[in-house]
């Protein structure tokens, strides 16, 4: 049973999605395939529990969600006056003959034990737990927000930078959990919440296992999990290490970036074979617009051999974190800069700059358009502007406006106004649009708004253009061409 989105107190009850319960903890003796299939069958009904109005010191509010293992209600701690979420499941009796503990009861015991070991900003906080009459209860913090299922398969995707931020927060939580000798074993979109204020929380340690014999949890349990997110070694029933959780987290990142689950199959057994034997699809083949380095990171975390994956969250964060700022500056561009960015990245002026550094300049500039015949920098560039031509053709002349004796043509990727921009010189030449022209208008203030190192890099780029142009002018010839405008 998972805590999912917790709507306002007056919101109607909503059904917890079936795969939120696909960990199969209600049938621990069966394989994960049977548990997951059972959880997704239309005939399996959510558990209906008769919930009293008061459990211990908790006044029970409206039901927030339900699944095959239990229900979640809002509640009020009547002593502390704190709103909480209460997860309820039936108490399971130990089998009189076999001594086995029912799956739902085992999950409750495991989650309660894990909660006692874990205190981390990116793991849901458990305040209390106990039994009331024939019910188990766990008291948790209320998280108003959505699980990553909202942004996964077939859903509207998160911005790339935000998806990576969320995964990095999960890496921190898992690193902490592993230091406490606990492997989550059920990392999937439904078990990762993003609150309305942006906090990331991992939920549901109900099928966790220990990393050592001294962890207080079983080192190896029944083969449980959610098939689409299980690691190969988890499917094969092997001992699990931290790399198993990071594999599962990699499948979540793949889904967030592509809108597709990592593997597809019609039957769970077929899916298991694919996960164990078939190489993971490359991100670059599905999203060629994303950096190859990001595809390489996913390829590493999705290796079949756990020793070939990232061994810690810190290691995975180190690989991913550089892409957060990269995509943030690009995805936060406003129009029309955002629409023009892909074309500008191919221009000669921006060749020595990264996509993110190009976007940083664009975020401080404006896109200007000129109709055929318009004069550019008409005031002699007294405002010390630089124009980077994005589209169209510009003629340069010292003659009268119409007709013009052509001195030179400038096209996309070239700049005009470098001398005035750098030295403040009055532009003696005149520039006219030979057709519709689009340009990036850069001012001294635009560069000053950038980080000093990037500011100097752009300034040097403009200086190099100016020096190259001055060198060409020393051997310049004037073609005898007349272009009426």
Tokens of 185: 């074993």
Residue 134: CB atoms within 10 Å: 11
CB-based contacts of 185, cutoff 8 Å, min separation 6: 207, 208, 209, 224, 225, 234, 240, 244, 245
Tokens of 358: 């190009």
| Residue 422 to residue 151: CA distance in whole angstroms | 47
Residue 12: CB atoms within 10 Å: 8
186 noted as active-site residue: yes
Tokens of 114: 């894990």
Tokens of 341: 């960015």
- Residue 201 has phi, psi (to 5 degrees) of -135, 130
Tokens of 179: 């230091």
| Residue 3 to residue 196: CA distance in whole angstroms | 15
Say if residues 245 and 301 touch (Cβ distance below 8 Å): no
Tokens of 327: 């995509």
Say if residues 246 and 297 touch (Cβ distance below 8 Å): no
* Angle at which helices 32-40 and 268-277 cross, to 10°: 130
Q: Catalytic: which of 21, 169, 186, 204? A: 186
Tokens of 243: 């790399």
- Where does residue 190 fall: left (phi above 0), alpha (psi -120 to 50 degrees), or beta otherwise? alpha
- Residues 384, 459, 338: CA angle, nearest 5 degrees: 80
Tokens of 73: 């209600």
CB-based contacts of 241, cutoff 8 Å, min separation 6: 183, 211, 306
Residues serving a catalytic function are 186
């Amino acid at each position: 049973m998972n805590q999912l989105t917790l709507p306002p107190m007056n919101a109607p009850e909503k059904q917890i999605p079936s795969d939120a319960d696909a960990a199969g903890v209600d049938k621990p003796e069966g394989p994960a395939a049977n548990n997951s299939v059972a959880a997704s069958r239309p005939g399996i009904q959510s558990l209906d529990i008769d919930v009293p109005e008061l459990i211990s010191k908790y006044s029970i509010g409206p039901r927030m969600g339900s699944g095959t293992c239990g229900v979640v209600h809002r509640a009020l701690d009547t002593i502390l006056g704190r709103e909480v979420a209460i997860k309820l499941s039936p108490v399971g009796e130990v089998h009189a003959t076999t001594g086995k503990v029912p799956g739902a009861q085992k999950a409750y015991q495991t989650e309660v034990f894990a909660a006692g070991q874990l205190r981390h900003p990116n793991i849901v906080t458990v305040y209390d737990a106990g039994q009331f009459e024939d019910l188990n209860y766990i008291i948790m913090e209320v998280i108003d927000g959505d699980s990553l299922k909202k942004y996964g398969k077939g859903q509207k995707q998160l911005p790339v930078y935000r998806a990576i931020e969320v995964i990095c927060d999960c890496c921190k939580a898992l690193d902490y959990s592993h230091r406490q000798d606990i492997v989550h074993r059920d990392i999937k979109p439904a078990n990762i919440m993003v609150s309305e204020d942006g906090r990331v929380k991992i939920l549901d340690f109900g099928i966790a296992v220990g990393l050592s014999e001294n962890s207080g949890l079983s080192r190896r349990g029944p083969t449980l999990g959610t098939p689409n997110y299980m690691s190969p070694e988890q499917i094969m029933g092997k001992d699990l290490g931290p790399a198993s959780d990071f594999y599962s987290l990699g499948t979540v990142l793949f889904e967030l970036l592509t809108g597709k689950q990592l593997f597809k199959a019609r039957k769970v057994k077929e899916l298991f074979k694919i996960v164990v034997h078939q190489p993971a699809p490359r991100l670059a083949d599905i999203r060629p617009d994303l950096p190859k380095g990001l595809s390489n990171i996913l390829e590493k975390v999705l290796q079949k051999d756990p020793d070939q994956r990232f061994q810690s969250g810190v290691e995975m964060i180190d690989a991913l974190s550089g892409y957060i700022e990269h995509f943030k500056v690009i995805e936060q561009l406003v129009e029309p800069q955002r629409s023009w960015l892909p074309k500008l990245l191919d221009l000669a002026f921006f060749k020595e700059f990264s996509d993110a550094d190009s976007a940083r300049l664009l975020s401080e500039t404006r896109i200007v358009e000129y109709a055929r015949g318009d004069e550019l920098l008409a005031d002699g560039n007294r405002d010390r502007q630089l124009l980077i031509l994005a589209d169209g053709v510009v003629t340069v002349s010292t003659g009268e406006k119409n007709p013009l004796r052509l001195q030179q043509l400038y096209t996309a990727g070239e700049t005009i106004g470098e001398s005035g921009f750098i030295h403040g010189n009055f532009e003696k030449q005149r520039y006219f649009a030979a057709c519709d022209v689009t340009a990036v208008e850069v001012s001294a203030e635009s560069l000053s708004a950038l980080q000093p190192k990037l500011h100097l890099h752009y300034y040097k780029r403009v200086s190099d253009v100016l020096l190259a142009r001055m060198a060409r002018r020393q051997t310049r010839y004037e073609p005898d061409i007349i272009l009426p405008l």
